[in-house]
């Protein structure tokens, strides 16, 4: 049996108000990732911001600095 390829989807500047937010999902594809985020949020997302995606075949790190 072949393993499913999972990816880490990270959105920066997600649903910004005074400052941008951060959202992430681990999923097989972008559509599934977006569905998982909207399910967690409890409603439709009005601004996804900037997307980065990473394969989970190796260790990864990602960070976003805040500011005012």
Task: Report the pLDDT value the prediction gives residue 35, as an integer from 0 to 100.
Answer: 96
- Please tell me which residue, 39 or 61, carries the higher pLDDT value: 39
- Please tell me which residue, 5 or 32, carries the higher pLDDT value: 32
Dist CA 50 CA 13 (whole Å): 6
Task: Give phi and psi for 21, each to the nearest 5.
Answer: -100, -175
Per-residue pLDDT of 21-55, as tens digits, reads 999 999 999 999 999 999 999 999 999 999 999 98
Residue 68 pLDDT grade (very low, low, confident, very high; cuts 50, 70, 90) = low
Using DSSP bridges, classify how beta strands 21-27 and 50-55 pair: parallel, antiparallel or unpaired.
unpaired
As a whole number, mean pLDDT of residues 3-14 equals 89
Task: Report the pLDDT value the prediction gives residue 65, as an integer from 0 to 100.
Answer: 77
Domain boundaries, the chain: 7-55
């Amino acid at each position: 049996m072949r393993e499913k390829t999972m990816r880490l989807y990270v959105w920066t500047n997600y649903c910004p108000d005074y400052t941008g937010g951060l959202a992430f999902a681990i999923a097989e594809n972008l559509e599934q990732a977006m569905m998982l985020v909207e399910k967690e949020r409890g409603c439709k997302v009005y601004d996804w911001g900037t997307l980065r995606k990473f394969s989970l075949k190796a260790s990864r790190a990602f960070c976003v600095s805040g500011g005012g």
